[in-house]
Chains A and B, each alone.
Chain A
């Protein structure tokens, strides 16, 4: 079965520090990749997604992620974090098999705390 690993459970950074959150998945075929964010007290919302093409994708609020197929990874990055980036971040993967998409599988999440 598909699995998604987020190795960092809790990351604490100071404002202006650079961020990289790791995400690895187990499926060897075609995948669609997502990062979702959940700000305190709010619902999950899409940060960015990768379907095909340029492996470096840009999302909202200055976030970007790079798909490295050989490493089964889709790490999230931001050059300079802000206090308002404090949130929980979830990586999610959809297997694409025979042209149809299977269920979206989430990682366990990374809680990011940005200190002012």
Chain B
């Protein structure tokens, strides 16, 4: 079974530039999550989708971050403009449902903002 695919794996940008990350979840998984993991901390949920609808985006900095999952399959997370404190690994995860099921994670996209 193919896992959660993410790209790019690494990205270096300067502050105030924009960046986009892509995620393709496991086939058939209705729920998709974006997490931010800053060095030395645990992953923090940014946004959760159920199919193509947003379930929870309470911790998404909406002035600069946006995410979409237009067809209920793959998803894009965008940051514009980036700040130094956005340097982190952006993890995508998926699950069959949004309840108590196990989350399957991708390898992450590491962002460095200079």
Contact = CB atoms under 8 A, between A and B. Distances in A.
Interface of A: 4, 6, 32, 34, 36, 42-46, 49, 51, 90, 92, 94, 96, 100-109
Contacts, number: 47
A107 B43 CA distance: 8
Contact of B107 (A43, A100, A107): A43
Given A103-B48, A103-B56, A44 B43 contact: yes
A-B pairs with the 8 shortest C-beta distances? A106-B42, A44-B105, A43-B107, A43-B105, A101-B99, A103-B45, A108-B42, A106-B43
A108 B44 CA distance: 10
Interface majority SS (helix, strand, loop, mixed), chain B: loop
Interface majority SS (helix, strand, loop, mixed), chain A: strand
A51 B99 CA distance: 11
A54 B102 CA distance: 19
